[in-house]
Each structure stands twice: as structure tokens, then as C-alpha cells.
Amino acid sequence: MDSMNEAKEKSEFDVENFEKANKKDKYIFLAEVHKFECDFYNNLTTIIDVPCPKVFQTREWIVKKQEGVLHMEDLTLRGKTLMFFENINLTQVKCVIRHLAHMHKNILSIDPAIWHGKYVTNQETLADCAQVFAPMELSFLRRCKREGNQKK
């Protein structure tokens, strides 16, 4: 929580507006996202059989009672974070599509009781997170090399 508060202080993001827009306490929202991610790594990664980081330990985050943990393998030597303006080539796109098809085949081939209806709670999480980052976009664009190309 200390690191989240420090990040909040250094950003231009208005947490109160986020809480009003989502009608949810920021810590409750983040704890739900954390649980979703832990459940995914604990329950589905062996089934989907696609490249995923190794997870050493997870622990549920219970706000004001227990700190959560998602201790994962360091991927700096095995992966790459693409910057917003970087491109990927056709071979990389095909590789991602093959993995997505394999993942969906595996999920749809197992007993639906294992996954059906269990991972829908956070189906709008990506959209909610996009709302979190939207207020920071202008600040980001001011700091990045593409500043001259942005529309005002």
C-alpha cells in the first residue's frame, strides 16, 4: 500500500474521480484485480499451456487485514516490454495468434465446470484500468519523444 500511495503522489491522476466513476473504493478494486490475477496463475496457466511467467507464490490481498503477494519470475532476460510506439513484425503477430488459438482450444476442450462463470467478475477490468490511465495520457505525451506529433 505504501508503494501505491507513493505512486499516487507522484502522478497527476485524480484517485477521487476514479472512485466516483467506478463507484468502488480504489483498494477494493485493486484487491479484486489482484485476486483475479492470482486465480488465473494458480488455476489456468497449466491448462492453457502457453508461455507464462513462473509463479512462486500467491496470497490473496484482503484490504486492511492481509497484504497480497504475486511473486513471479523476472522476465527481463526472457521477454520484452514493447513501448507504445514500437511495432511488431508479422512473424511475431502469427506467433501470438498461434498461442491464442492453442489457449482457446485447451480451455474449450476441458470440463467447463473448471472455468465457466468463474472469471467474469473482472471482465471489464481492462476498461476500468483504461479509465485509470486516461488522465495521465497528456502528461505522458508531454514527456515522450512524440510530443510534437500529438494533437491538441
Chain segment 50-91, per-residue pLDDT in tens: 999 999 999 999 999 999 999 999 988 887 777 656 677 889
Domain containing residue 30 = 2-149
User: pLDDT tens-digit profile of 91-145?
Assistant: 988 999 999 999 999 999 999 888 888 777 766 766 666 666 666 677 767 776 6
DSSP codes of every residue in 56-101 = EEEE--BTTTB--EEEE---TTT--PPPTT----HHHHHHHHHHHH
- Whole-angstrom distance, CA of residue 29 vs CA of residue 152: 32
User: 128 Cβ partners below 8 Å, 6+ apart?
Assistant: 22, 29
pTM for this structure?
A: 0.67
Number of domains observed in the structure of the chain: 1
